[in-house]
Amino acid sequence: MPSREPKVIECCGEELPCPNFTNTCPHCSADYNWAGQRLAPRSQWGEETGESVEEILGIDDMSVDELLKSD
């Protein structure tokens, strides 16, 4: 499978590559997903699922195969 170039968006007037599940702007701390969509504030993360921010951010350590694996 060929590797894809990461989505690149503009935030704070600069380019922000989005190669990971979660990508954070170094200037304003806004979070974006791998598709460049802005995510809800971290204070709202896990509200519906009970996951902590640490658990959600830990997904960046997983491979694409692990992420797509169905149980």
How many independent structural domains does the chain possess?
1
Is residue 17, in this structure, part of any structural domain at all? yes
Where is pLDDT greater, at 70 or 8?
8
Question: What's the N-to-C CA distance of the chain in angstroms?
Answer: 23
Residue-level pLDDT at 70: 60
Is residue 1, in this structure, part of any structural domain at all? no
Average pLDDT of 8-22?
95
Q: For the chain, where are the alpha helices, taking DSSP H only?
A: 53-57, 64-68
Q: How many whole angstroms separate alpha carbon 31 and alpha carbon 23?
A: 5
Q: How many whole angstroms separate alpha carbon 59 and alpha carbon 67?
A: 8
Full domain range(s) for residue 38: 7-68
Is residue 53, in this structure, part of any structural domain at all? yes
Is residue 2, in this structure, part of any structural domain at all? no
pLDDT of 68 above 80: no
